[in-house]
Amino acid sequence: MDKETARRQFVNELWQRYEELQRWAEENWPDKEHPLSSADFVETRKEILGLRNPAQAPGRPASAGARGDAREPEQGGAQYIDVNPTPWP
């Protein structure tokens, strides 16, 4: 099994398990006056989907992937990528 197939299988299983967890959380949320909805899980879903192609993951700068610098640190890529904007003075 190659890396891409293994990655796809992992992400598919993770997605299924996350959907089960989301259903359980929505059904068992103790604050019935303010119930959970699928909107509460959007950001996590984006992160999981980003595992399919880490270069396109949320929070990753698009320019790094475009330049071909989206390598892992052990492959010579950056060890830290600052994704936070610089604050105003």
Q: Measuring CA to CA, how many Å separate 64 from each of 47, 67, 68, 71?
A: 18, 5, 6, 9
Task: Say if 25 falls within a structural domain.
Answer: yes
- The tally of domains found in the chain comes to 1
Task: Say if 66 falls within a structural domain.
Answer: no
Task: Say if 76 falls within a structural domain.
Answer: no
Task: Say if 27 falls within a structural domain.
Answer: yes
pTM of the model: 0.59
Q: How confident is the model at residue 64 (pLDDT cuts 50, 70, 90)?
A: very low
Query: Which span out of 20-34, 43-57, 66-80 was modeled with the highest average pLDDT?
Result: 20-34
Residue 16 belongs to what domain range?
6-54
Any idea which residue has 């699928």 for tokens? 38
